[in-house]
């Protein structure tokens, strides 16, 4: 009798708990956003990363393991089709039933219109500091440059490089996950709140460092950094490639070369996702003596919770190196 009771008790221990369910399976497009989601999900589960940071997100072919992760996802967090135009069709075919959250489309996301021209004259001439567009949260106004002649969407998608957006997104990520997984709702919200606090500290620290870089003039590989520039009061003199990283034409290259000569620019940046040989071609025989690396994706930074803060810190460090 006792033996039967003992065996029955042991069996009960291995029965699934009433009401228990596994946390949602989450997929994320790029490594900086994956870092933000990882911090919100800390203590619950690990999200899957779809695009490796050493590759360009503008054009990418999913590995079999990444396609599988997308197909089994309950929730997908991604930036926008403006960043990954190829991913939109993959979401429809591989993640049809998943909850898909496009963060650039949130009303609370600070957005910037694409800058035009190799030296951004059209952008600067058209910007309106007195008001923002419908996506602007009030922290900064939108830029109203013309988008004519290009096939990109309305907004520059590199919005993760403004830490204010990262804090806003953390709250939205927590809200979505809490709805999917009520058992861990409080943990998601607490993690998002803690992340917001740490991002505020990071922003203040980077802002202090940026004050020592006032007046710095530099050329970036592709126009991916205006969110970072505007948040910290910095300004690139121009970009070799467009925001979608398409190859520059001869006219754009000549415009950059003229700018470098006229302004005495001595610092330019490559990116690990693209061919660095283009930099050498553009600046051969010029006054550019410092060729550094700026990486909006963190190709050499460990993927995970600490990735996002490390990406922003590395960007500021690259600009500081430009002064030496």
| Three-state DSSP string of 28-50 | ECCHHHHHHHHHHCCCCCCCEEC
Cα distances from 64 to residues 67, 68, 69, 70, 179, in angstroms, run 5, 6, 9, 10, 29
What pLDDT, in 10s, does the model give residues 29-45? 999 999 999 999 999 99
Judge whether residue 119 has pLDDT over 70: no
What pLDDT, in 10s, does the model give residues 156-185? 999 999 999 999 999 999 999 999 999 999
Judge whether residue 13 has pLDDT over 70: no
Q: Average per-residue pLDDT in the chain?
A: 83
Judge whether residue 63 has pLDDT over 90: yes
Whole-model pTM: value is 0.82
pLDDT, position 245: 64
Domain ranges of the chain: 26-108+161-201
What pLDDT, in 10s, does the model give residues 72-97? 999 999 999 999 999 999 999 999 99
Name the phi and psi angles at 241, rounded to 5. Answer: -115, 165
Bridge partners of 268, per DSSP, are 219, 291
Cα distances from 73 to residues 90, 174, 294, in angstroms, run 12, 16, 32
Q: Domain 26-108+161-201 has what CATH class?
A: alpha beta
318/303 Cα distance (integer angstroms): 20
């Amino acid at each position: 009798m006792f033996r039967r009771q003992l065996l029955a008790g042991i069996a009960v221990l291995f029965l699934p708990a009433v009401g228990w369910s596994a946390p949602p399976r989450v997929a994320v497009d790029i490594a900086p956003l994956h870092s933000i989601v990882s911090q919100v999900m800390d203590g619950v589960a690990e999200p899957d990363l779809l695009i490796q940071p050493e590759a360009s997100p503008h054009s990418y072919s999913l590995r079999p393991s990444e396609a599988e992760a997308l197909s089994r996802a309950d929730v997908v967090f991604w930036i926008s089709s403006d960043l990954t135009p190829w991913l939109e069709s993959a979401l429809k075919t591989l993640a049809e039933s998943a909850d898909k959250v496009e963060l650039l489309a949130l009303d609370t996301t600070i957005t910037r219109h694409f800058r035009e021209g190799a030296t951004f004259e059209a952008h600067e001439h058209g910007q309106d500091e007195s008001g923002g567009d419908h996506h602007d949260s009030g922290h900064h106004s939108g830029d109203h440059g013309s988008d004519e002649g290009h096939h990109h969407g309305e907004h520059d998608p590199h919005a993760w490089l403004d830490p204010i957006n990262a804090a806003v997104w953390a709250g939205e990520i927590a809200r979505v996950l809490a709805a999917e997984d009520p058992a861990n709702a409080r943990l998601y919200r607490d993690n998002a709140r803690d992340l917001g606090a740490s991002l505020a500290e990071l922003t203040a620290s980077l802002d202090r460092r940026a004050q020592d870089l006032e007046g710095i003039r530099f050329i970036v590989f592709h126009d991916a950094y205006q969110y970072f520039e505007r948040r910290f009061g910095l300004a690139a003199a121009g970009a070799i490639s467009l925001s979608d990283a398409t190859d520059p034409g001869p006219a754009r290259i000549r415009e950059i070369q003229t700018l470098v000569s006229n302004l005495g620019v001595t610092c330019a940046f490559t990116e690990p996702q693209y061919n660095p040989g283009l930099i050498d071609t553009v600046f051969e025989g010029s006054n550019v003596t410092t060729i550094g690396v700026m990486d909006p994706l963190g190709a050499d930074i460990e993927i995970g919770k600490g990735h996002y803060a490390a990406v922003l810190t590395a960007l500021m460090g690259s600009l500081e190196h430009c002064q030496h």
